[in-house]
Chain A
Amino acid sequence: MNFLEQAFGSGDYMPHGYCYLWNAHLVWLHVVSDSLIALSYFAIPVLLLWFVRKRRDLPFHWMFVLFGVFIVACGATHVMEVWNLWHADYWLSGGIKAITAAASVSTAGLLAYVAPKVLSLQGLDQLVQAKSSLEQEISDLRNDELRSLLREAAYRDQAALLDITHDAILVRDLQSKITYWNRGAAILYGWSREEAGGRISHELLSTVFPAPVSEIEAQVLSTGSWDGELIHRKRDGSTIIVSSRWALETDDSSKPIAILESNRDITGSRRAEKRFENLLESAPDAMVIVNHAGQIALVNSQTEKLFGYERKELIGQAVEILVPASRRSAHVGHRSGYSQAPHPREMGEGLDLHGRRKDGTEFPVEISLSPLETEDGTLISSAIRDISKRREATEKIRNLNSSLQHKIDELNAVTSEMESFSYSVSHDLRAPLRHIDGFARILKEEHAAELSPEADRYLTRVIDAANRMGTLIDDLLSLGRVGRREMTLGRVSLDDLVRQSMADLPPGTENRVIEWRIEPLGEAPCDSGLLKLVFSNLLSNAVKFTRTRQAAVIEVGICKIKGTPAYFVRDNGVGFDSKYADKLFGVFQRLHSQQDFEGTGVGLATVRRIIQRHGGKIWAESELDRGATFLFTLAATPGPSAPQEAEVFKSNGR
């Protein structure tokens, strides 16, 4: 504790500033000078340390470390000088000076010990000089033999490297005798290095050249290299296509000495290319393949046919040759835009695209684009389809549609005419009937005294006729309404409809014996109001035409006909002759006299109209006097088609 107090406490000593009588100039002179000295002393060892680390080879590098410590200690004493101007830590300052002294003495001593050894080291200059004289000696050895030895040594060194590549590499002298044959060549062709060495390469490989061999050799000799495709025969007899590169080896006096040949088997990619070309040819569309610069790289024969150019006229041309003149400049922009981020898509969606033939005529096209990754970079493949025919067809359909629309408009006009017609029938034709009936009745009832029996009978005829015409008009209007009414389809319980229809039967059956055989019919998708009319008509007919029977039997049931449910109403009434079956459902068609069975001949026409609107069929089977069966189906395929039909009728309705 005591020591620490002495070291760090100010104790009773005066700060050093008092010695300078706190003369500001003097104090600052000391402060600035000591600070700068300390900073420099601290910087020097950092630089030394960096130097030592970089030059690991430096001899006596521990000397530099020691020297660094010595200088740091010196710097520390100067820091203390500044400190002690205001604080009186003289013990601490003295301690640091003692450490500095120790470092200084050691450094000096060691330096004295090392200096003689350092002197004995040779200088760098001397080394450099020795090297250049040695090089001079080597370059002096202008001896061909030595150089060729060196070259062979180089081949041997490279041989290991050459063996790694998959390419077949061979060196042959100017007489085509093989002097080097790498592992790749042995694998590709099937002959080992020993077997191939000394053989004439063209004979060994049965080389087929793309040009006379003399021309190729002349080119190698004059330009130093040749590139091309060769066909070689392997040891197993199979032939391959190789991409071949030849390079001429010369000696220092540029005298040719050997040819280095590197061959790569491209048979596979050639076949792939061939396949690709076949694919291109078999495409139904004109295929135009364009490189990144917009030049046509490949076309198929459909392109030739479509645009009227020959293949060779197109290859290498800007693709705009196929674009109408007015669109060319814009096309260049679009094309480069597409090349930035190519992805498969339709070209110019929603636009009218046109192609231009060689003869200048233009035709509408549809184009789909897709990028094609190849060794030569990304190509753009475009499939071009002539859509003139489709355009024509579309145009035709449009015309048909518009004429259809016209027909529909006409039909709507007719329908609305029909409506006003039936309205006036309903309103105006009934009025005179009422008058005829009304006044005839007044005559008959209130003026009976003035009428002869014959006149009275005639008046009865007048009244009957008027009423019958009233019924006819009502039935006709109801038939018209059935045809026009909007259908609302839903799942309807047919059993409910049968029950309601039976309850609504016309009066007059109270005293009759009728046996009802009602089978459950289930539900069906239909318009309940209209189907109710069907059952009402069929049941009231059955009741009417069994009137002459002692015991009438009326059946309602369901059966299946070709998988479709068919509903039937059967009676044991008077029936009809089946040869008139087709007349049964016509408007105003009757098979019985008014005297025997009253009726307007509209009821079954109405029924048929309703069944037709439901997409079903109705027919009847009978024999004269042996009852009749009326059968009907609803929509042939219930479900989806039913609402669609409702749609159709809706649009045709009012």
Chain B
Amino acid sequence: MDAKPIEILLVEDNEADAELALHALRKSKLANHIHRVQDGEEALDFLFCRGPYSARSFDNAPQLILLDLKLPKIDGLQVLQQIKTDARTRAIPVIILTSSKEERDMASGYQSGVNSYIQKPVNFADFQDVVRQLGMYWLLINSKPPASAFGRA
């Protein structure tokens, strides 16, 4: 279906948020291949190569997942748990990008193994800055996990 390597998977149900995030990412000129899914179920289908994404391969895992918490069907924390408890997806860095800065959300996120937790600033200039920094860090500075980290040869 999509043979190009996906750099970022954006899990975001809100159109406006999605558009702003994509805008910010594009402006930072860091990622060209971004895939957006609209809810938790679609995110899991995409990552586990099933349902509409059954043609995908685990070899083509995204380099980074930007995950909203409040999602229809399956919420962000559950998506996170499934990613982090499965050996095939566990190594993918996941960043929670959400409006909420509730302590319990942060605590459950970190307990489930999230790699980073970022509250979306109201101010779009700040948001753009955050997106630029995290893209810089996770896509350029950080060494991505080797294939063996996914249990593949």
Q: Hey, which bits of chain A sit against chain B, CB under 8 A? A: 423, 426-428, 430-431, 433-435, 437-442, 466-467, 469-470
- CB-based contact A433/B122 at 8 Å: yes
Q: Is the interface of A mostly helix, strand, loop or mixed?
A: helix
- CB-based contact A427/B122 at 8 Å: no
- CB-based contact A441/B122 at 8 Å: no
Collect the chain B residues with CB atoms within 8 Å of residue A467's CB.
122-123
- CB-based contact B122/A437 at 8 Å: yes
A to B CB contacts below 8 Å, 11 in the list = A423-B102, A426-B100, A431-B14, A434-B17, A434-B99, A435-B16, A438-B124, A439-B20, A442-B20, A442-B124, A470-B123
One of A426, A438, A439, A466 near B99 (C-beta < 8 A): A426
- CB-based contact B20/A434 at 8 Å: yes
Collect the chain A residues with CB atoms within 8 Å of residue B144's CB.
none
In the complex where A427-B70, A439-B16, A442-B23 touch, is A434 in contact with B124 (Cβ < 8 A)? yes
A422's nearest neighbour on chain B, judged by CB, is B102
Q: Mark B5-17, 1 if CB is under 8 A from A, else 0.
A: 0000000001011
- CB-based contact A430/B124 at 8 Å: no
In the complex where A426-B101, A431-B17, A433-B122 touch, is A438 in contact with B70 (Cβ < 8 A)? no
Question: How far, in Å, is B96 (CB) from chain A's closest CB?
Answer: 12
B23's nearest neighbour on chain A, judged by CB, is A442
One of A423, A430, A439 near B122 (C-beta < 8 A): A430
B interface, size bucket: 10 to 19
In the complex where A433-B122, A470-B123 touch, is A427 in contact with B17 (Cβ < 8 A)? no
- CB-based contact A441/B124 at 8 Å: yes
Collect the chain A residues with CB atoms within 8 Å of residue B101's CB.
426
In the complex where A435-B17, A435-B20, A442-B23 touch, is A426 in contact with B122 (Cβ < 8 A)? no
Collect the chain B residues with CB atoms within 8 Å of residue A440's CB.
124
Q: Bound state CA distance, A441 and B121, in angstroms? A: 14
Q: Bound state CA distance, A466 and B98, in angstroms? A: 18
Collect the chain A residues with CB atoms within 8 Å of residue B125's CB.
441
Q: Bound state CA distance, A157 and B144, in angstroms? A: 131
A469's nearest neighbour on chain B, judged by CB, is B122
One of B69, B70, B102, B120 near A434 (C-beta < 8 A): B120
Q: Bound state CA distance, A431 and B16, in angstroms? A: 9
Q: Bound state CA distance, A433 and B99, in angstroms? A: 11
B127 is an interface residue with CB less than 8 A from chain A: yes
A429's nearest neighbour on chain B, judged by CB, is B99
Residues of chain B in range 92-130 having any CB-CB distance to chain A below 8 Å: 98-102, 120-125, 127
- CB-based contact A434/B127 at 8 Å: yes
Residues of chain B in range 59-94 having any CB-CB distance to chain A below 8 Å: 69-70
Question: How far, in Å, is B126 (CB) from chain A's closest CB?
Answer: 9
Further 17 A-B residue pairs, CB within 8 A, beyond A437-B124, A438-B16, A470-B122 = A426-B99, A426-B101, A426-B102, A427-B69, A427-B70, A430-B99, A433-B122, A434-B20, A434-B124, A435-B16, A435-B17, A437-B123, A438-B23, A441-B125, A442-B23, A467-B122, A469-B122
- CB-based contact A438/B20 at 8 Å: yes
Q: Bound state CA distance, A437 and B127, in angstroms? A: 10
Q: Bound state CA distance, A469 and B16, in angstroms? A: 19
Question: How far, in Å, is A88 (CB) from chain B's closest CB?
Answer: 117
B101's nearest neighbour on chain A, judged by CB, is A426
Q: Bound state CA distance, A439 and B102, in angstroms? A: 26
Residues of chain B in range 1-40 having any CB-CB distance to chain A below 8 Å: 14, 16-17, 20, 23
Q: Bound state CA distance, A245 and B127, in angstroms? A: 117
Collect the chain A residues with CB atoms within 8 Å of residue B16's CB.
431, 435, 438-439
Question: How far, in Å, is A462 (CB) from chain B's closest CB?
Answer: 12
Q: Bound state CA distance, A428 and B69, in angstroms? A: 12
Collect the chain A residues with CB atoms within 8 Å of residue B70's CB.
427-428
Q: Bound state CA distance, A54 and B98, in angstroms? A: 122
Question: How far, in Å, is A419 (CB) from chain B's closest CB?
Answer: 9
The 5 closest A-B pairs by CB, nearest first: A470-B122, A438-B124, A435-B16, A438-B20, A441-B124
Question: How far, in Å, is B1 (CB) from chain A's closest CB?
Answer: 31
Collect the chain B residues with CB atoms within 8 Å of residue A427's CB.
69-70, 98-100, 102
Collect the chain A residues with CB atoms within 8 Å of residue B17's CB.
431, 434-435
Q: Bound state CA distance, A146 and B133, in angstroms? A: 145
- CB-based contact B100/A434 at 8 Å: no
Collect the chain A residues with CB atoms within 8 Å of residue B69's CB.
427
B16's nearest neighbour on chain A, judged by CB, is A435
Q: Bound state CA distance, A435 and B12, in angstroms? A: 14
Collect the chain B residues with CB atoms within 8 Å of residue A442's CB.
20, 23, 124
Q: Bound state CA distance, A430 and B120, in angstroms? A: 9
- Of the candidates B23, B120, B122, the one having the most CB atoms from chain A within 10 angstroms of its own CB is B122
Q: Bound state CA distance, A470 and B124, in angstroms? A: 12
Question: How far, in Å, is A469 (CB) from chain B's closest CB?
Answer: 8
Q: Bound state CA distance, A442 and B20, in angstroms? A: 9
Q: Bound state CA distance, A438 and B23, in angstroms? A: 10
Collect the chain A residues with CB atoms within 8 Å of residue B99's CB.
426-428, 430-431, 434
Question: How far, in Å, is A625 (CB) from chain B's closest CB?
Answer: 35
Question: How far, in Å, is A407 (CB) from chain B's closest CB?
Answer: 26
Question: How far, in Å, is B52 (CB) from chain A's closest CB?
Answer: 27
- Of the candidates A438, A441, A470, the one having the most CB atoms from chain B within 10 angstroms of its own CB is A438
Q: Bound state CA distance, A430 and B125, in angstroms? A: 15
Collect the chain A residues with CB atoms within 8 Å of residue B121's CB.
434
Q: Bound state CA distance, A579 and B20, in angstroms? A: 48
In the complex where A434-B20, A435-B17 touch, is A423 in contact with B100 (Cβ < 8 A)? yes
Collect the chain B residues with CB atoms within 8 Å of residue A437's CB.
122-124
Question: How far, in Å, is B123 (CB) from chain A's closest CB?
Answer: 6
Collect the chain B residues with CB atoms within 8 Å of residue A469's CB.
122
